[in-house]
């Protein structure tokens, strides 16, 4: 059984302000499924506001390397540029499926929500899209990302060696925390980290 949004809210709270966001904030050309609207209403990644004209920035989860950015609902549709359509011409891009929606990014690499199945996957930008499954639902995906970020942050400088490589014991700590969150064994946690290419 997937976690509730109430259960993952405390996991995301260390990374910025959470605020309920109404469905009217969505700027897209199609209706969002209830699971995604519920996430923004019950969890609501808002983050800081750099300037009133810019609005909320969303959350940045420090997981090592580029942060994982989760946009506020009002910016979610704009984040599809470069994936669903060309960022300059607006031309629809080949290879991107209609049912795919970017819900978070690690740099330019997207976490993709399937509007039909509700599953979340991850892929590297810059080539043919072949996303790897991360989780069967949005709450598990975001809870897993937050668990990794929180565990990595708690490790502090001890996570990396003198060559800035992840220490084996740090990876084990993250894997064990992730396995506990998932309610599964370390093999499932390792599979999620591998699909994400976390420190690979």
What CATH number does the domain containing 55 carry? 3.40.1580
Reported in sequence order, the residue ranges of 74-131 that DSSP labels E, i.e. its strands, are: 100-106, 109-114, 120-122
**Overall average pLDDT of the 54-78 stretch:** 95
**Overall average pLDDT of the 51-69 stretch:** 91
Question: Six-digit token pair at 169?
Answer: 């014991």
Indicate the number of domains in the chain.
Answer: 2
Chain segment 85-99, per-residue pLDDT in tens: 988 888 889 899 999
- Separation CA 27–CA 55 (nearest Å): 14
Band the pLDDT of 196: cuts 50, 70, 90: very high
Residues 127 and 147 occupy one common structural domain: no
Residues 149 and 173 occupy one common structural domain: yes
Position 105 scores a pLDDT of 98
Residues 111 and 148 occupy one common structural domain: no
Q: Which of 1, 4, 5, 3 is nearest to 42 (CA)?
A: 5
**Overall average pLDDT of the 102-108 stretch:** 98
Write the DSSP assignment of 65-79 as a string of letters.
Answer: SSPEEE--HHHHTGG
Position 73 scores a pLDDT of 98
pTM, entire model: 0.95
Position 86 scores a pLDDT of 85
Provide the domain limits for residue 79: 5-131
**Overall average pLDDT of the 62-86 stretch:** 95
H/E stretch holding 100 reads: strand 100-106
- Separation CA 64–CA 45 (nearest Å): 20
């Amino acid at each position: 059984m997937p976690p509730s949004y109430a259960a993952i809210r405390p996991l995301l709270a260390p990374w910025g302000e959470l605020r309920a966001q109404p469905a009217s904030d969505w700027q897209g050309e199609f209706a969002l499924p209830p699971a995604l609207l519920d996430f923004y209403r019950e969890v609501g990644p808002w983050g800081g506001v750099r300037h009133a004209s810019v609005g909320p920035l969303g959350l940045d989860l420090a997981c090592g390397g580029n942060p994982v950015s989760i946009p506020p609902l009002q910016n979610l549709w704009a984040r599809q540029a470069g994936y669903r359509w060309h960022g300059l011409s607006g031309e629809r891009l080949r290879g991107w499926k209609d049912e795919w929606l970017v819900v978070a990014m690690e740099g330019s690499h997207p976490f993709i929500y399937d509007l039909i199945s509700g599953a979340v996957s991850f892929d590297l930008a810059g080539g043919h899209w072949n996303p790897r499954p991360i989780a069967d639902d949005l709450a598990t995906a975001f809870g897993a990302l937050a668990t990794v970020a929180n565990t990595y942050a708690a490790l502090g400088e001890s996570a990396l060696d003198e060559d800035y490589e992840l220490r084996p014991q740090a990876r084990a700590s993250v894997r064990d925390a992730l396995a506990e969150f998932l309610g599964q064994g370390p093999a499932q946690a390792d599979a999620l980290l591998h699909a994400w290419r976390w420190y690979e």
